[in-house]
Structure 1
Amino acid sequence: MASSMEVVSMDCEMVGVGPHQESGLARCSLVDINGDVLYDKFIRPEGQITNYRTRVSGITRQHMEQATPFAVARLENSWSGHSSVEDARAAMKLYQISQQIRAR
């Protein structure tokens, strides 16, 4: 059986940023195999938020007023462990592919 740190689930909520409402990270949550929260933080994306997507994301202006700026959150977190950076890159690539498929 996998240890609790070998299996991690991530969920990210996005808001629309800029005139084209490009997706910007607004919340990132990580839980282990037992459902224990490893990380859960509201993150203010760079650029002007033009759509909170509250109906889907649950994100509101109040969340973003108290959120950690993206640049700070990026510095606070570092990847460690066997191939975790590669795993994260693969996860992001899958996310990008799913977004492309959804857009068709």
Structure 2
Amino acid sequence: NQSPDPGAADRLDEIGHDAAVHDATAMAEAMETLKKGYEMLKEKYVKGERLRKQYEKDIKVLKDPKAWLRVGDEPHLADEYGQPFSPSPQSEAPSHYRRGPPEQAGPIKEGGTLF
């Protein structure tokens, strides 16, 4: 016949308390990680939306036939005031859309069209 261990209940309480603290800590860390991930995604979404809106504006200007003015034999892009069009600095157009001297321009594929 064994006599019950008088400290067993206290140790069990302590183990339960430690486990609860460990779980709460792990949960808080997981929540912090999720929060950071959410903030990062939100930043990327906002930046993506800004770029998307800028591209839509750029495309609208590119598709506007009045935006293309002929100077000599070279087509030049111009805005509604006749100023040379330049895409916003943050938009990165593929090289074959970029303006500049032919030696700086990217390759335009044979038979390819802009749109």
User: TM-score, normalised to structure 2's length?
Assistant: 0.25
Q: State the structure with bigger RCO (CA 8 A, min sep 6), 1 or 2.
A: 1
Higher strand share: 1
Higher helix share: 2
Whichever of the two has the greater Rg, that structure is: 2
